[in-house]
Amino acid sequence: MKAVRVQRLKAEDVRRFAERIGAKDRSRLVVCKGEYVEIPILDGFERFFEGYDIVEQENPLFARKNDLFEILKDEIPRDLWDLIPRRYKIIGDVVMIKIPEELEEYKKKVGEAILRIHKRCKSVWRDLGREGMIRKPKVELIAGSGSETIHRENGCLFKLDVTKVMFSVGNQGERMRIVNVVQDGEVVLDMFAGIGYFTIPIAVHTNARRIYSIEINPESYFYLIENIRLNRVNNVIPILGDSMNVTPEGFAERVVMGHIFCHEFLPVAVKSLRSDGYIHYHESVPEVVIDRPIERIRSVCESLGREVRIENFRKVKNYSPGVLHVVVDAYIY
């Protein structure tokens, strides 16, 4: 059983190349050995790796039989193998997966395979994106049944219906980071509360005095109320409305702006601060204009006669090719 032996630094490029030309033996795992990595290849492909060592693997590690690819490769033609999804998200007992167009006719098989792997899950939904400012999910049922679930994350419960509201598993790190910056006794404003993505962890894990949580979509608001009840927190004040119009002025010490298209709300956020305070501003930004979120904050503060100190600028996750979801922590005074 052959493998290409490459230095760690080059491993990812070579792995991708092997995948692209159909040379990678996906029944075996990539193995790290000190400074080197062994990428398993199928017999007959050795000549494509001129300049690299081809080794005979002594103790190959095999992919587990419950690997999605392993189940599907017998059901899907070989020329489509590269398109078999490698990742999917589990929200409570519901699975969300992106499936390329080319696998349209195999989507049911994909869903059923996932349910075979994750026996505790009840349904698999194809993730087709999100629409508009309320980020309504576009989804399609491909296996099983049921869309309402309770997701557990870092000691918090999030009840939601995946056909009505989104849940971004990739924002988990940011949800916990915010918990660590909130100070005892603070009044927090969550301007785009959703089902309580930030509100609930702050309420559960910090000693914030009050959390004002504004949400415009009645379907998300319904689950926000459910989650306040489920998590037994009593310092959240939920508000159904448009934060552009209903946000009071001069009361908050910290503002969470957890919507990636919310720059027009920056003046409202700044005005909501009692005196000095923090704004955690999210934006989806192309890498070529990476400073745009900071420039927008500075410009709004300048127009309102406020000073600003940028304390942190970090990537939350990749949003799309060349576009990042970032968050800026700005101290306004």
Ligand X SMILES: C[S@@+](CC[C@H](N)C(=O)[O-])C[C@H]1O[C@@H](n2cnc3c(N)ncnc32)[C@H](O)[C@@H]1O
Q: Would you tell me which residues interact with ligand X (CB under 6 A)? A: 133-135, 166, 168, 171, 175, 192, 194, 197, 214-217, 220, 242-244, 258-259
Nearer to ligand X, 133 or 304 (CB): 133
Alpha carbons 216 and 221: distance in angstroms, whole number = 7
Nearest alpha carbon to residue 229 among 191, 192, 195: 195
Nearer to ligand X, 24 or 164 (CB): 164
Nearer to ligand X, 27 or 147 (CB): 147
Calculate ∠ Cα 62-64-65, nearest 5°: 115
Cβ at position 132, least distance to ligand X in Å:
8
Q: Which residues contact 7 (CB under 8 A, 6 or more apart)?
A: 35, 36, 37
Which two three-digit tokens encode residue 296?
């927008």
Nearer to ligand X, 215 or 253 (CB): 215
CB 266 within 8 A of CB 297: yes
Cβ at position 77, least distance to ligand X in Å:
36
Cβ at position 198, least distance to ligand X in Å:
6
Cβ at position 249, least distance to ligand X in Å:
16
Nearer to ligand X, 40 or 201 (CB): 201
Alpha carbons 141 and 213: distance in angstroms, whole number = 31
Cβ at position 62, least distance to ligand X in Å:
36
Q: Which residues contact 134 (CB under 8 A, 6 or more apart)?
A: 216, 217, 220
**Amino acid found at 223:** Y
Nearest alpha carbon to residue 18 among 82, 85, 87: 82
